[in-house]
Amino acid sequence: MKKGLQNQKKISSRLKERAISEGFAVSGIASIPGSSRLKLRTNALERWLANNYHSEMKWMETEKRKNIDSLLKGAKSVLTVGFNYLSINHKEKKDFKIGKFAQGEDYHKVIYKKLKNLGKWINNEIPDCKWKICVDTSPLLEKAWAEEAGLGWIGKNSNLINRCYGSWLTLGFMILTKDFEPNKPSDSLCGKCEKCIEKCPTKAITEPFVIDSDKCIAYHTIENRNHTFPEHIEKNLNGWIAGCDICQDVCPWNESVPVNQSKEAAPKAWIKNLDIKSLEWEEKTWKEYLKKSTLKRIKPWMWNRNIKAVQKSIKK
Ligand code: B12
């Protein structure tokens, strides 16, 4: 093997190991522009938008989402990381339910901080490599890039599933201006299983891999800015007031996943003690509870709407 390639292999391994030592469960690298699979995923995004499956999330229409180069000039590789948010202490009571991804510290902040530390390491070790961090809010087809970097496969519930950690991972990305050794994309391991499709009470998975946001409980509890829910959502809430984990809870790959024991993944105290009383919120309570939480996206009036809708659906 030529010396240049040997060095590239070595530094690529060190970069991924360094990411793991920052506290990520998994890491992988993809080369830009990626394989033809990326083209398929970009076409899937276009079909999704054409069907209006993004509902009121009009920001999903930006052209930039189709072009990773627009995020950093000279982009050559992307480092992909997964943060395991599964905690042993998740609240599993039946009255009010909150998506597990949002019960601990705000994953955007957790991932950003870890990647920033990694950036400092890159500045020392590979000073001519520029980098840019993307966590969720950047116009990047995140799951498609995570799949390309070998982190897992896109499951029929449309989430990225890893062999060891299932889909209990939030994703982070670092776009880099150097060529690193790419990982091989992993095979799809959903097989014939369609539990996620069958168990979704609102039939939000219209066909394998495709979510119609208008039918998705997670969409309505987090993103919907209307003052009421459509009937097909309200009557199927079954306790969900923030996000929804049904299509993940039923996935066989999510059954025996190692838990993350760090403080970052531990559910906030108010979530563990959730009851109707603790949910009569005013602006002050909201600020206090949702400090450093991704649940801040749900404004106080939306919490009250979601809680009322759950209570109404229980009475029905
Ligand atoms: C918009 C959005 C939503 C919307 C729409 C969901 C959706 N599936 O698109 C709503 C509000 C509903 C939502 C809900 C949730 N979200 Co969200 N969301 C996003 C966001 C911002 C964009 C996703 C996107 O591009 N959608 C557009 C459509 C076209 O993409 P898609 O459904 O992913 O479609 C892909 C597949 O269907 C695939 N595909 C299509 N055809 C085929 C065919 C085959 C054979 C295969 C293999 C694949 C395939 O290609 C498509 C394009 O990549 C990403 C962050 C980001 N910047 O990417 C987070 C993100 C996807 N969300 C995340 C999470 C955690 C959730 C929830 C689990 C939260 C919760 N518990 O409530 C739920 C899951 C609901 C679900 N089953 O999708 C994580 C997922 C992590 C993971 N392991 O996959 C992300 C990556 C955020 C992050 N940085 O961690 N989300």
pLDDT, one tens digit per residue, over 198-257 is 999 999 999 999 999 999 999 999 999 999 999 999 999 999 999 999 999 999 999 999
268 lines ligand 1 (CB under 6 A): no
Which of 142, 187, 194 should be mutated for ligand 1, with most atoms under 8 A from CB? 142
pLDDT of residue 276: 64
Instruction: Determine which one of 136, 187, 214, 245 is catalytic.
Output: 136
Rounded distance between C-alpha atoms, residue 266 and residue 102, angstroms: 10
Kindly report, residue by residue over 67-106, the tens digit of the pLDDT. 898 999 999 999 999 999 999 877 666 678 999 999 999 9
User: How far does residue 129's CA lie from ligand 1's centre (Å)?
Assistant: 29
Does ligand 1 lie within 6 Å of residue 179's CB atom?
no
Pick the residue whose CA is nearest to atom 11 on ligand 1.
219
**SS3 of residue 189 by DSSP:** coil
Rounded-to-integer distance, Cα 301 and Cα 306, Å: 9
Q: Is-catalytic flag, 136?
A: yes
**Band (1; pLDDT cuts 50, 70, 90):** low
CATH topology for the 3-89+104-176 domain:
NADH Oxidase (3.40.109)
Alpha helices in 83-238 (DSSP H): 107-125, 142-148, 195-199, 217-222, 231-234
Look at residue 6 in the predicted model and tell me its pLDDT. 80
Distance 154 CA to ligand 1 centre (A): 9
How many angstroms does the Cα of residue 164 sit away from the middle of ligand 1?
A: 19
What confidence category does residue 20 fall into, taking pLDDT thresholds of 50, 70 and 90? very high
Q: Quick one: which atom of ligand 1 is closest to the CA of 210?
A: 37
Instruction: Please give the C-alpha separations between residue 301 and each of 1, 49, 158, 222, 280, in angstroms, as whole numbers.
Output: 62, 28, 29, 12, 11
- C-alpha distances (whole Å) from 187 to each of 42, 78, 149, 150, 205 are 19, 20, 12, 9, 21
pLDDT at 255: 95
Question: Ligand 1 centroid vs 292 CA: distance in angstroms?
Answer: 23
Cα 137 to middle of ligand 1, angstroms: 12
Q: What percent of the chain has pLDDT over 90?
A: 82
Instruction: Identify which has the larger pLDDT, 95 or 266.
Output: 266
Closest ligand 1 atom to 152 CA: 83
Strands (E), 130-248: 131-134, 153-154, 160-161, 169-176, 205-207, 210-211, 240-242
What 3-state class would DSSP assign to 198?
A: helix
Q: Is 171 a pocket residue for ligand 1 (Cβ < 6 Å)? A: yes
Residue ranges per structural domain of the chain: 3-89+104-176, 195-315
Query: How much is the pTM?
Result: 0.97
What pLDDT shows up at residue 190? 98
pLDDT in tens, 278-288: 666 777 887 88
Q: How confident is the model at residue 57 (pLDDT cuts 50, 70, 90)?
A: very high
Q: How many CA atoms lie within 13 A of 157 on its CB side?
A: 27
> 11: part of which helix (H) or strand (E)?
helix 3-21
Distance of CA 101 to the CA centre of its chain: 8
